[in-house]
Amino acid sequence: MAQKSCTPELLSGAELMKQGAEARLYRTRFLGKPTVVKQRFPKRYRHPVLDEKLTHRRTTQEVRSILRCRKAGISAPVVYFVDYASHCIFLEDIVSSSTVRDYIASCPDQDQDLDLLVQKVGRILARMHDEDVIHGDLTTSNMLLRLHPDGTKPRHEPDLVLIDFGLSYISALPEDKGVDLYVLEKAFLSTHPNTEALFQTLLHSYTAASNKSNAVIKKLDEVRLRGRKRSMVG
Amino acid sequence: MHLTQKLELFPDHSVTQILFKDVKNAAELRQSAVEGKINGALINPTMLVGPFQVLVAANKAVHLQKTGKMKTRSLYSEIIFNLSPNNNISEAFKRFGISDGDDSVMVVLVHNQDESQLLSDVTNKVNGRQVPVEDVSSLSDAAKIKKLYKVTPQEEVCGTLLDAVVCRMATKDVM
């Protein structure tokens, strides 16, 4: 009696935006609104039972973290619909936006706007970590900057939206928050050469905005020495 | 005045919303809905922020019907249940369904291509004045909605009340 989900049929006619190792992103219209569909496809290299379990858990984890962030006042795409049968999440398409990565790349060095932007990033991450949400994949490509619908200049106060909570989880441990920042530092400095000062500005604003930043920054220093993975010796 | 939207996921299904004010026979309508004599969901419009909220509930109901995962007995009761932020079915009917004393009602129909027959059937049963569906926002009780869905003031900084409500409806099964 139970039939298969209809989502794959819709996606076959939709525009493929991006394909990663974990999921495919499609752009389509849903209930009349511009929508991004994130489909976690089956991984043939995993045992089917394990694959189903992991995929299901990541799908639910992603929508949980999005809602938790939104409740705390951190912008993240609205979830319109979740299809647990085909593991698809229907998300608000943030129209007229640029990734922070593209925005920084297009800005001349020493731009004042950049300082304002990374300060905002620091404040948002501080708030997210204070809610015990660990993003898990912080990069400047996973932050969107809403632009004026007409032009390319961002609004006065940078309007940031965090996306891709696919690897996120809930944890209060300074260790996990430290690793989260470490991942961002690695990604930031490798995508944007010669921006050590800019990243320091980001960390300063994180420290000032977070209630529990002392322990996190201490852990970050530790993580820098040993890398992301903990030593399992002894 | 009614609003019809095709469901992109189910191209042979459309959802039509019809809004009535000054309704005199709410008790009678509710009774026929309970007896299954009305082919539609009767919703209390004061709990609705906008037509999109109804579309999200209806789309999810059709999806769950197709995949055999409905929590309630019929497609129309499932629409009402999907509007609710929690998993209590009787509470959902109480808050989102119509009550005997109500003077406005939103009727939601799910149908194939041609809706004119269904539409006239419903308009004949409701003793009230049909108004544009977009007017539903003027009937909504924002304070009651915020309280029921537990929307915090800080959440409204990063999005509208409709965003907050839709997010909760879409994700309630895994919270």
DSSP for residue B156 = G
User: Strands B41-43 and B105-111: what pairing?
Assistant: antiparallel
Mean pLDDT of A205-213: 94
Is residue B91 within a helix (H) or strand (E), and if so which, with residue range? helix B89-96
pLDDT the model gives residue A1: 45
pLDDT the model gives residue A224: 92
Mean pLDDT of B137-142: 95
* Shared-domain flag, residues A143 and A55: no
Q: Count the residues in chain B.
A: 175
Q: Which of B5, B164, B171 lies nearest to residue A82, judging by beta carbons?
A: B171
Question: Which domains occur in chain B, in start order?
Answer: 3-171 (3.30.2380.10)
* Shared-domain flag, residues A82 and A140: no
Q: Token pair for residue A60? A: 């639910």
* Shared-domain flag, residues A105 and A210: yes
* Shared-domain flag, residues A199 and A103: yes
Q: Tell me which residue range forms the domain holding A189.
A: 97-229
Asked whether residue A2 is domain-assigned, the answer is: no
Which has the minimum average pLDDT: A175-179, A227-231, B132-136, B161-165? A227-231
For residue A61, what is the nearest residue in chain B, using CA coordinates? B174
Q: What is the pLDDT of residues A61-70, one digit of tens each?
A: 999 999 999 9
CA distance B54 to B82: 9
CB contact under 8 A, A1 and B159: no
For residue A8, what is the nearest residue in chain B, using CA coordinates? B9
pTM over 0.80: yes
Q: How confident is the model at residue A231 (pLDDT cuts 50, 70, 90)?
A: low
* Shared-domain flag, residues A136 and A162: yes
Last residue of a domain, one of A58, A92, A126: A92
Q: How confident is the model at residue A156 (pLDDT cuts 50, 70, 90)?
A: low
Nearest of B73, B85, B12 to residue B65 by alpha carbon? B73
* Shared-domain flag, residues A114 and A204: yes
Nearest of A216, A200, A218 to residue A130 by alpha carbon? A216
pLDDT the model gives residue A158: 80
Average pLDDT, chain B: 94
Mean pLDDT of A103-116: 83
Q: Token pair for residue A132? A: 């015990």
Asked whether residue A196 is domain-assigned, the answer is: yes
DSSP for residue B174 = G
Which has the minimum average pLDDT: A58-67, A101-110, B52-61? A101-110
How close, in Å, is residue B100 to chain A by CA atoms? 31
Which has the minimum average pLDDT: A51-55, A152-156, B18-22, B81-85? A152-156
CA dist list (Å): B42 to B38, B122, B139: 9, 11, 15
CB contact under 8 A, A64 and B171: yes
Q: Count the residues in chain A.
A: 234
**Catalytic center residues of A:** 137
* Shared-domain flag, residues A49 and A106: no
Q: Which of A32, A76, A82 lies nearest to residue B170, judging by beta carbons?
A: A82
Q: Are A92 and A35 in contact (CB under 8 A)?
A: yes
pLDDT the model gives residue B9: 94
Average pLDDT, chain A: 91
Asked whether residue A85 is domain-assigned, the answer is: yes
CA distance B79 to B83: 7
**Residue A118 maps to which CATH number?**
1.10.510.10
The number of distinct structural domains making up chain A is 2
CA distance B137 to B159: 17
How close, in Å, is residue A127 to chain B by CA atoms? 12
Mean pLDDT of B86-97: 95
CB contact under 8 A, A73 and B154: yes
Burial label for A182, CB within 10 Å (0-12, 13-18, 19+), is buried
* Shared-domain flag, residues A153 and A209: yes
For residue A74, what is the nearest residue in chain B, using CA coordinates? B158
What's phi and psi for A18, nearest 5 deg?
A: -150, 150
**Residue A21 maps to which CATH number?**
3.30.200.20
Name every residue in B having a CB less than 8 A away from some CB of A. Answer: 5, 7-10, 52, 55-56, 59-60, 63, 66-69, 152, 154-155, 157-159, 163-164, 166-168, 170-171, 173-175
Nearest of B47, B146, B38 to residue B96 by alpha carbon? B47
* Shared-domain flag, residues A112 and A188: yes
Q: Which of B152, B166, B174 lies nearest to residue A80, judging by beta carbons?
A: B166
Nearest of B23, B16, B155, B49 to residue B101 by alpha carbon? B23
Q: How confident is the model at residue A50 (pLDDT cuts 50, 70, 90)?
A: very high
